[in-house]
Amino acid sequence: MSGGGTETPVGCEATPGGGDKKKDSLGTAGSPAHFIIKDLGEIHSRLLDHRPVVQGETRYFVKEFEEKRGLREMRVLENLKNMIHETNEHTLPKCREIVQDNLNQALCLSYLSLTCYVLSPPPKSVSVQI
């Protein structure tokens, strides 16, 4: 037994659990090393894994953008509605009156000028000598 190797118990029985005490102490769920490794994993995920934070910020930005866009579109539609109402109630009747008055005036003038032209004597012919 003076060799530097490991000795197996009598009857060639192996020690239970593989004989590696370091693996056993790290692998058990109740050991302090297991808690440290678990805490290191959580710290690593909180410090270096920014995906949840970025995803949350992205969702918040999209939500705010959609709300602002919706409010802006509602304001634009309300302004259009008011503009159409004002056009139908005020501008179109005024335009209709003005066009009708001017058209009647133009028709009267054209009728008068036509009757004056028909009733007036023909102009004297002017001869041009060169």
* CB atoms near residue 31 (< 10 Å): 13
CB contact at 8 A, 1 and 7: yes
Eight-class DSSP state of 17 = G
pLDDT band of residue 92 (cuts 50, 70, 90) is very high
pLDDT surpasses 90 at 20: no
Question: What does the pLDDT look like over 24-50, one tens digit per residue?
Answer: 445 566 788 888 988 888 888 778 777
Q: Which three-class secondary structure string do you get for 66-113?
A: HHHHHHHHHHHHHHHHHHHHHHHHHHHHHHHHHHHHHHHHHHHHHHHH
What does pTM read for this prediction?
0.40
